[in-house]
Structure 1
Amino acid sequence: MNRLFDIFRNKYFLSTAAFAVWMLFFDKNDMLSQYEYRTEVHKLQQEKDFYEIETAKVKKDLNELNTNLNTAEKFAREKYFMKKDNEDVFVIIREDAKD
């Protein structure tokens, strides 16, 4: 028991323990901050992946619009509900059943 007290009273052990406590809880880059940074990075990575997929879709649509005039007309009708003078446009909105 006396040996255990000697270890805890050792100046090297105390300085190492104080340094560890300081680095784990009180420093600018403590454990809580590191966890928050990791979750933020994960969230931003998911957003980046989402926007890369959306960018690829938009580039594909743009390529189709630039190559084919019929595709441009189809795109204008579907996305912007454009119509010719003698036509009527009916928009059907489907609602999912919530059971």
Structure 2
Amino acid sequence: MTFKEFRQNKVVRFLSNRYILILLLFLVWMLFFDENSYLNHRELNRERSKIKNTIEFYDEGSENDKKLIKNLQDPDSLEKFAREEYKMKRKDEDIFIIDFDSIKEK
């Protein structure tokens, strides 16, 4: 194929049009090099979804804590919570903690 035949090709003629070249350069610039490029937007969208997931996680934890606080207003449930979570006891009691997980492993 000679240079003249190459220049007569429809694709080459279309791509060598100055407006098409400018449009292609503009698209490449906007997709990859601009401050608001597609790559930046994709990274920002990923970060936004991570932040949304974190917010949902902490909202659920906050709801659980609010329920726990409301439940701990009752003195009996407060005592139960202190015994179970912090291994607290009364003065005249002895507490024996049995770890069932370590028993099953043996």
What runs of 5+ residues in structure 1 fail to find an aligned partner?
Answer: none
Partner in structure 1 of residue 77 of structure 2: 71
- The normalised TM-score by structure 2 is 0.74
The 3 A distance-change label for structure 1 pair 46 and 93 is farther
**Deviation of the 1:71 alpha carbon:** 0.8
Identity %: 34
Q: How many residues align?
A: 95
Q: 1:51 aligns with which of 34, 41, 58?
A: 58
2:94 partner amino acid: D
* 1:15-72 deviation per Cα after TM superposition (whole angstroms, max 9, x unaligned): 1100100011111232322222222222222211111111111000111112x11011
1:33 counterpart letter in structure 2: N
The CA distance in 1 between the partners of 2:17 and 2:56, in whole Å, is 52
Whichever of the two has the greater Rg, that structure is 2
Q: Output the CA distance in 1 between the equivalents of 2:13 and 2:20.
A: 10
- Cα-Cα RMSD: 2.2
Give the Cα separation in 1 of the matches to 2:67 and 2:41: 39
Distance 1:34 1:54, change over 3 A: same
